[in-house]
A and B are shown apart, each in its own frame.
Chain A
């Protein structure tokens, strides 16, 4: 294993210490670990808080700042953060408008954030959880933990962070977040594996001429393996899977503040159709250079045009990564005037910055 680390046990702490030095506009706590806006607590705006395992940088810590996240909680590499982190972060940033937890759909994240929401609620802070489950590699929700949360998370955190900044209340932020999630679809692929520092060997192995379609961001098994293809062929596979994805139904949990209990609601995502307008994300899994991402974007744009899908905004770069994995994921989020105006609103974070 060749990595720029000092000691395996210090990877996350040293990363946070460096981040604090590079970004004085952030307030970083090491015990428990969270990254917050230095101007927090927010007085009368909803605090959007996210978190998850480390190793996906810049997500989520790189998205903390004005117009996006109020705080982020990093776990160990590829391991969910624990409720004490979310609890402390919520207390550090929450004002009177409450806290929205943005949670990617992985069992560990879901259970830890639900526990945190109950703790925060018990302290009298208004709280709601919203899930991101957009990975079309997972077909059914009946026999699995459901679709995983991937690229749509980036777009959702930007859009809902802007809404919170604009003064939306907690329920309005949650409703907008659910709509963005329902509108978003992603699919990724791996050219190579990645190595978790504490493990010291690759998470999975791919042959020299082998690629995996539908890989998860923690190396969860994908849909299938095949031989190496051209950028156009791979892009076509990913984009067709997203555009041809049918209706997706599942039960999602939300927090009933009045009765202090979790309730389930059926959520149905409808397919993208000709005439839809989208925000497109072409994302590096960490090890794939920008040049290759643009080659993918080139084909994505052509395919969308031929299918009557209009790309109104694009984001091309490394935003939700899997350590040094080579590969790409594509995310398309259907947009409307409200989502688009929130996307265009100013944002000032280490990883996304415009309008200032």
Chain B
């Protein structure tokens, strides 16, 4: 199956719902090693994206993602704003004029987004950041796509990769952002940014699953 423009719109709406539901959970994760606002900031940012969606829903996927990135950039704040904003803006840039995405397009979405996050944040895997969920998700998705598995199977593998990546952040010492000032005291806590990545992926899986049932 293909991911349509409508799927992307529904995905972003689903992200907003899920982030609102998990707002307190994400902020709690951010409490011991950050400043307890990750859930509040992400929920606010995606609610602004949803407000903006009607004005771009009829364009193309690249434009929808790029516009969403710009909204996140100006509404999330903190470090997550530029990082998520850059992710969506770069992902959109890689998918200009696309009306639907096949699995290789989905790989490009993630790859371009990840490259943007790496450039903006100058982080690498293992530093207790959102990359610790994004990169294993991409690797798992790529392996499944190369085996020509169906989209749902591939996305399930991506989500599992991201969730495993979040668990792997628990014993890590943070080297980026405010958490880095805690040094060894950051051990024992998962990274909130990595956790929010899994929510966005699970929202995408939800949308694709429910659409395939409808078919």
A residues sitting closer than 8 Å to B (CB atoms) are: 32, 75-76, 78-84, 106-108, 111-112, 114-115, 138, 143-145, 148, 198-199, 203, 216, 218, 220-221
A to B CB contacts below 8 Å, 13 in the list:
A78-B35, A82-B73, A83-B73, A107-B121, A107-B178, A111-B82, A112-B77, A112-B81, A115-B73, A138-B181, A143-B183, A199-B36, A221-B182
A-B contact count (CB 8 A): 78
B residues sitting closer than 8 Å to A (CB atoms) are: 35-37, 40-41, 73-79, 81-83, 85-86, 120-121, 173, 175-178, 180-183, 185
Majority secondary structure, A binding face: loop
Q: Are A108 and B74 in contact (CB under 8 A)?
A: no
Q: Which one of A82, A148, A203 lies within 8 Å of B75 (CB-CB)? A: A82
Q: Are A143 and B173 in contact (CB under 8 A)?
A: yes
Given contacts A108-B79, A138-B181, A145-B177, contact A84 B35 (CB under 8 A): no
Whole-angstrom CA separation of A83 from B36 in the bound complex: 22
| Nearest CB on B from A240, distance (A) | 22
CB neighbours of B185 from chain A (8 A): 221
Q: Are B173 and A84 in contact (CB under 8 A)?
A: no
Whole-angstrom CA separation of A83 from B89 in the bound complex: 14
Give 13 A-B pairs besides A79-B35, A83-B74, A115-B82 with Cβ atoms closer than 8 angstroms.
A80-B81, A82-B73, A107-B121, A111-B79, A114-B82, A144-B175, A144-B183, A145-B176, A148-B181, A198-B40, A199-B36, A216-B181, A221-B185
Q: Are B120 and A111 in contact (CB under 8 A)?
A: yes
Q: Are A145 and B183 in contact (CB under 8 A)?
A: no
Q: Are A145 and B121 in contact (CB under 8 A)?
A: no
Q: Are B77 and A84 in contact (CB under 8 A)?
A: no
CB neighbours of A199 from chain B (8 A): 36
Q: Which one of A83, A107, A203, A221 lies within 8 Å of B79 (CB-CB)? A: A107
Whole-angstrom CA separation of A253 from B183 in the bound complex: 23
CB neighbours of B35 from chain A (8 A): 78-79, 203, 218
